[in-house]
Structure 1
Amino acid sequence: MPIADDVTDGTDVLANGVSLKAGRLKTSPIGDIVTDDSLPEAEDEDKLSIPVINIAGFSADGDDTSIRRRKIVSEITHACETWGIFQIINHGVPQQLVNDVRKQAHEFFSLPPEIKERIRVETQKLSESNNYHQQGFLRKPADPMNTSWREDLAYSSSWNKTKSMIERAWLDTSASTVETAHEYLKSKDDFGMKLLEILAEGLGLDSGFFLQNLCHVRTSEKPYYWRVNFYPPCQHTEQTIGIPPHTDPCILTLLSQRNVSGLQVMKGDRYVDVLPTPGALVVNVGDLLEAWSNGRFQSAVHRVVVSTKQERVSWAFLMFPPHSFVVEAPEQLIDDEHPHLFKPLNHVDMLRALYEGLQVALKSGDTRKLLPKVLFYELARLNKSVEIDS
């Protein structure tokens, strides 16, 4: 149902016609996360800022004598250990390709609401993510995924399913539209593979560790999740949020964003703005990589706030292991001082357990389990007494 019962003066309206009436939404089903008063303000950018790493000149041949290569590996490793999020420039993903995908996204979100509604697939299947979602309204008052002020178009699982979704989403689907999306996904996946080599080296593993463990079960139908987010302007930003605080339940997230800020990451007890850097990719460590690195790398708690004047668009590419793959920290990272912190994880089972755990927490009113990482740690960590900073 809409957040507002009707549309009056002072009401914000999503592109899909859903309204937010001033004063209506004070809290959400997942706690006091939509009211700015209940959230720490973002830290001033001159006091604290996330790392921006230039990987120009990175040697892809694994030449250990390359000072430049070792410096890049060190910087990225440190960012994963201390922030869990960073920006990379000179990453090799063509800017023109990013611009073309941006144009396609603008065309889609500019479509009339009734056209976009035709794309939606009503499903309760956890695996069905090829869909169009309207948020900023509460279709299910107990559903934590329906509290965000945004629209999004999500693709997942395989290229064939993505291609089918694109054909549903665009009225005039030309070969160039499909090819642009395919090249974009391929370039993100290629860069993600390169980044995993760097991360393996940073952990003291063979550079091919992650790739060898993934690629022997990865096929041409590579599992991923690609979501295009659209955040319309909202005059009552104190009463809503773009995306509530969360971590990503994947290996890595590669995010492209325009020059409109809004993404924020938790550092200590404060939020820090992830200010857009021209041409940069934002990299998030996911929960699965935190487990795979035995806690060396930290998945980042982050959120998105909305603007009163500017729309915001971002493109998130989430990398997952295949459904059959079990994530487990390698023995090289385990010793008496660093015992196993996580159970072996199958990501499909973990996603299902997280979803079911959220539903139980909502029904029971256990708001602590709705905080980022708390439920994941309770389900996945071997040491339940560990302090959880969320």
Structure 2
Amino acid sequence: MEVDRVQAIVSSSLAEDKIPAEFIRPEDERPATTTFHGPTPEIPVIDFGDPDREKVIRSMADASTEWGIFQVVNHGIPSHLIQRLQLVGREFFDLPQEEKEVYAKPPGAPSIEGYGSKLGRDVNGKKNWADYLFHRIWPPTRINYQFWPKNPPSYREVNEEYAQEMRKIVDKLLGWLSMGLGLEENVLKQGAGGEEIEYLMKINYYPPCPRPDLTLGVPSHTDLSALTVLVPNQVHGLQVFKDGLWIDAKYIPGALVVHIGDQIEILSNGKYKAVLHRTTVDRERTRMSWPVFLEPPAEYVVGPLPQLVDPQHPPQYKHKKFKDYSYCKLNKLPQ
């Protein structure tokens, strides 16, 4: 088997101070030269346990307008479930390489699901210091269990339980974000696909790297999703671009990190901003994260909500099928 997984490269005879050339980012992308280390504002933290719902809605709207990202505490997902989700993810990546390859994304397959090491196209031909596992967890009609690991044995049970909890959180997030735009609670969800919104689980695996100053786990991007709801492990790595600076996201145990994605920026006609972010890696420790991407169905047409368009606020984006939008973005084509 060709060794092209980052985890396998790390496990081989990699020199202590070197990484393959295809992982070395251009100078203007390297964390060592682009990360700001001075005092910076922190990503907003929103307490879903606050009884003042109007305050929570205002805080979410402000964070989505100014940052495109926020963290949520007291969100209601049981901590033991999050721990189990992380455990089965780690156990999968601890499997022998040949066992993980059973779930590999088929070459040339149009779907992004499966085990792999790269999504999309990099114009510089560079690779990311990351492996991943990607599969849908909702709705049931869209799940392909071919890409759900059978080992560890509890993987399916944990992910199905997590999907149910995630649906509750997403309904709350979309409802309150909609109200933050001055709309009825269900408008934003309907604009993003309604009950047909697809939930895609991705496990990101960033192995230790001998030269974390030269490479990235994932280069700078905005998510093509509507929302991304992410659980990290305790190893820092998420960075956000704010006011011309790359700043580190503070790790808050048990918090959910919520990214505004491209589709909500489009639906809100630019009121809410998709967050530009990237991922760094660690010299000694493995970083992992568990984002769930909320995406419209492939044939669903997304565009600025009519309630947010008027002569003073003309449409800033085209209406487009989600599959066409995602194809253009993943292949670096003009939108």
TM-score normalised according to structure 1 size: 0.76
Partner Cα separation in structure 1 for residue 151 and residue 307 of structure 2 = 52
Q: Identify if the C-alpha distance between structure 1 residues 314 and 296 changes in structure 2 by more than 3 Å, giving closer, same or farther.
A: same
In structure 1, list runs of 5 or more residues that go unmatched. 4-11, 59-67, 359-374, 380-390
Alignment partner of 1:163 out of 145, 150, 154 = 145
Partner Cα separation in structure 1 for residue 14 and residue 26 of structure 2 = 21
Q: Identify if the C-alpha distance between structure 1 residues 355 and 178 changes in structure 2 by more than 3 Å, giving closer, same or farther.
A: closer
Alignment partner of 1:260 out of 226, 235, 251 = 235
Q: Identify if the C-alpha distance between structure 1 residues 143 and 335 changes in structure 2 by more than 3 Å, giving closer, same or farther.
A: closer
Confirm or deny that 1:54 pairs with 2:47: yes
User: Partner of 2:181 in structure 1?
Assistant: 203
Partner Cα separation in structure 1 for residue 309 and residue 120 of structure 2 = 44
Q: CA deviation at 1:186?
A: 2.0
Q: How does 1:280-299 map to 2 (within 5 A)?
A: 280-299=255-274
Partner Cα separation in structure 1 for residue 24 and residue 285 of structure 2 = 27
User: Partner of 2:129 in structure 1?
Assistant: 149
Contact 2:129 2:207 in 1 (8 A): yes
Alignment partner of 2:62 out of 62, 70, 78 = 78
Q: Identify if the C-alpha distance between structure 1 residues 193 and 331 changes in structure 2 by more than 3 Å, giving closer, same or farther.
A: same
Contact 1:16 1:113 in 2 (8 A): no
Partner Cα separation in structure 2 for residue 69 and residue 130 of structure 1 = 37
Contact 2:16 2:210 in 1 (8 A): no
Q: CA deviation at 1:177?
A: 3.1
Amino acid in structure 1 at the alignment position of 2:284: K
Q: Identity of paired residues, percent?
A: 28
Instruction: State the secondary structure of the residue aligned to 1:323.
Output: coil
In structure 2, list runs of 5 or more residues that go unmatched. none
Alignment partner of 1:119 out of 99, 103, 124 = 103
Amino acid in structure 1 at the alignment position of 2:93: F
Contact 1:34 1:238 in 2 (8 A): no
Instruction: State the secondary structure of the residue aligned to 1:154.
Output: strand
Q: Deviations over 1:209-244 (max 9, x none)?
A: 12344565x34xx52221001111111112211111
User: Partner of 1:134 in structure 2?
Assistant: 117
User: Partner of 2:300 in structure 1?
Assistant: 325
Range with bigger deviation, 26-35 or 184-193? 26-35
Contact 2:35 2:246 in 1 (8 A): yes
Q: Identify if the C-alpha distance between structure 1 residues 213 and 240 changes in structure 2 by more than 3 Å, giving closer, same or farther.
A: closer
Contact 1:40 1:269 in 2 (8 A): no
Aligned length: 331
Q: CA deviation at 1:32?
A: 4.7
Q: Deviations over 1:354-381 (max 9, x none)?
A: 23445xxxxxxxxxxxxxxxx5xxx2xx
User: Partner of 2:35 in structure 1?
Assistant: 41
Instruction: State the secondary structure of the residue aligned to 2:34.
Output: coil
Alignment partner of 1:352 out of 306, 316, 327 = 327
Q: Identify if the C-alpha distance between structure 1 residues 304 and 33 changes in structure 2 by more than 3 Å, giving closer, same or farther.
A: farther
Partner Cα separation in structure 2 for residue 141 and residue 279 of structure 1 = 33
Partner Cα separation in structure 2 for residue 318 and residue 141 of structure 1 = 19
Partner Cα separation in structure 1 for residue 152 and residue 238 of structure 2 = 32
Contact 2:8 2:97 in 1 (8 A): no
Choose 1 or 2 for highest CA Rg: 1
Q: Identify if the C-alpha distance between structure 1 residues 72 and 32 changes in structure 2 by more than 3 Å, giving closer, same or farther.
A: same
Q: Identify if the C-alpha distance between structure 1 residues 357 and 279 changes in structure 2 by more than 3 Å, giving closer, same or farther.
A: closer
TM-score normalised according to structure 2 size: 0.88
Instruction: State the secondary structure of the residue aligned to 2:71.
Output: strand
Instruction: State the secondary structure of the residue aligned to 1:195.
Output: helix
User: Partner of 1:181 in structure 2?
Assistant: 159
Instruction: State the secondary structure of the residue aligned to 1:261.
Output: coil
